[in-house]
Structure 1
């Protein structure tokens, strides 16, 4: 593998996008695996979404393999797993354990299927497991009044609300029935997987209790969605906790990962390609987020709703009334709540039923 790229300008200017090193070549096709280092495999599963893939990992664990993350519950993912487990497949020895970084469907979707196929124990943090159970239980329910109020106050129109009502409860569509038990991952714990020790580094903001796995002896970090090389993690507020401040959690987690994990690791992210340059990427993500908050402060010189600040926060237009609108709204409110929690902004509920935000 090649040495990490250096970029002196990026080191002094965190807003200059760092030139990361991608030493692992092209991603494997679904159903195949590439060896990252001896005993660690890279797999990729397809997704029928705008972000069309997720990376999964397998670590040699005695006579079998410990997998990290599982992919969406789809026929295509199931077929890719069957190929990996089949005669001559990279995982023909079977699974010993399944580690899940967090509860989003692309990470946990096939966990129950794999548990039932191999009898392997599910390892994840407590909050992620419990939150997944709660969200999966929404399948088949009508959208709650609190959620409708949340999005109306953000500025959604009747068409967008109707689409939300229709799609509510879709979380469980891509998640196989969860195992009824799990093994808890805890921040700072050391876990022996095969011949190596891995340390759990928990981050928050993107999800409630996201577990990264760091192996000092192999100089590897499985970062999940906590640090990604080409895209930013979604950091959103949801109707279940409308006054949350996940942006503060995420920024603090970036600092925590930087302090806990050396810069010389090869990062194994959930999306895009394995890379080197962890600290430069963290610095860029933090600086970009702070710059977005500055743009938001400028915009709030005049009162705005959550849907009115998309242009200040995102690099592409947000149109329509589907999932992208929901993600953009959640992120906008996360930025606005960050300012509210610091008394830099205030919000007022107007006669139109919307929250209007302005600088304090």
Structure 2
């Protein structure tokens, strides 16, 4: 029996009532008739040569994209304004992959789904691709309501549990010092802290327990067997699910069709090199055949993971070359970011631009092309290796 969520409002009113299953299978073969979604400035990577077989559903609506595999979209309160959620028919229940941020709009969308196309059978489990706000923010209320287990890699559950505790005051010391050491002005730092705290506030209390997903596991849901692949770069242990029999890959944010996933460095691991991990993942994903249907966390499902992996590799190679060239004169991370990405730095994406720039700088240090040093003023500066 489904039970009431033990979470504070606005989620306490969420219910699931039985109605007939009514999947919408009316999606067209092109996306031309749909409104264009917003993407992050400075993060576009040309998606030429990819094949997009489906148009997106409206927010909260459901379409079938393969037997036993449904697709819906949830609205997000960010510039990247939507999350793709994939729902798989287990016969006696449903498996849901990712669930959205903890907002009233997400709560309303789930009420609509549970009252409509998913009614009549329980959601038997919630699976996370990774632990970012937009993918698992609503996981606690949803799993508590449905009495369903939460499946996640260990690091992603842990990181979400920790992340939701962040506040501006708590971040001001460690994160504030981190941004200042990389040359960010005080006014910008305050904005960064507020943005990060806001994102943390959109993670409700996480499920208190989880079922661990690990590399090489084989999960059965939606009438298919899915091999688990774990990758770093965008997240510490991002899960990608591969059905060889159906040539379908549920990819989360690891290999997006129109933008590169955010590959950034934050205050908790300031010398991290996530780009090395991400590039390693592209070498694996690039080996898949071009007929594979990729189901991403954002954007449209597409065929051509190998093409997309090569596009992303070329994008990051170009960015690395530009950043290496920009390091004459021992700049800070902020100096490099404002020089190379002035448009993004003038808008709401400055925090991501700084984090991405630092990821590339750290990679260049790790590969011996740059050297890192701390100046007398406490600023971290980069220069070509001698």
TM-score by length of 2: 0.84
Q: 1:193 corresponds to which residue?
A: 221
- Structure 1 CA distance, aligned partners of 2:213 and 2:135? 16
Q: 1:12 corresponds to which residue?
A: none
Residue 327 of structure 1 aligns to a residue in which SS? helix
**Equivalences for 1:1-360 in 2 at 5 Å?**
18-25=48-55, 27-86=56-115, 88-139=116-167, 141-167=169-195, 169-259=197-287, 261-310=288-337, 314=341, 316-319=343-346, 324-360=349-385
Aligned-residue offset at 1:298:
1.4
Structure 1 regions of 5+ residues with no counterpart?
Answer: 3-14
CA change 1:277–1:316 in 2 (3 A) is farther
Aligned-residue offset at 1:331:
0.7
CA change 1:200–1:315 in 2 (3 A) is farther
Residue 326 of structure 1 aligns to a residue in which SS? helix
CA change 1:168–1:44 in 2 (3 A) is closer
- Structure 2 CA distance, aligned partners of 1:258 and 1:168? 32
Contact 1:222 1:268 in 2 (8 A): yes
CA change 1:312–1:213 in 2 (3 A) is farther
Aligned-residue offset at 1:98:
0.6
- Structure 2 CA distance, aligned partners of 1:150 and 1:69? 31
- Structure 2 CA distance, aligned partners of 1:64 and 1:312? 52
Contact 2:286 2:307 in 1 (8 A): no
- Structure 1 CA distance, aligned partners of 2:193 and 2:365? 28
Contact 2:74 2:82 in 1 (8 A): yes
Aligned-residue offset at 1:29:
1.6
- Structure 1 CA distance, aligned partners of 2:271 and 2:46? 32
Residue 78 of structure 1 aligns to a residue in which SS? helix
- Structure 2 CA distance, aligned partners of 1:221 and 1:272? 14
Q: What CA deviation, in whole Å up to 9, does each residue of 1:188-213 have, x standing for no partner?
A: 11111142101111110100000011
Residue 160 of structure 2 aligns to a residue in which SS? helix
Structure 2 regions of 5+ residues with no counterpart?
Answer: 1-27, 30-44
Residue 233 of structure 1 aligns to a residue in which SS? coil
Aligned-residue offset at 1:300:
1.6
- Aligned residue pairs total 344
Contact 1:296 1:312 in 2 (8 A): no
Q: What CA deviation, in whole Å up to 9, does each residue of 1:43-63 have, x standing for no partner?
A: 000012111111000011121
- Structure 1 CA distance, aligned partners of 2:330 and 2:163? 34
Contact 1:32 1:90 in 2 (8 A): no
- Structure 2 CA distance, aligned partners of 1:350 and 1:134? 32
CA change 1:290–1:138 in 2 (3 A) is same
Shifted more, 103-112 versus 143-152: the winner is 143-152
Aligned-residue offset at 1:132:
1.1
Calculate the aligned-residue CA RMSD, in Å. Answer: 2.1
CA change 1:317–1:187 in 2 (3 A) is same
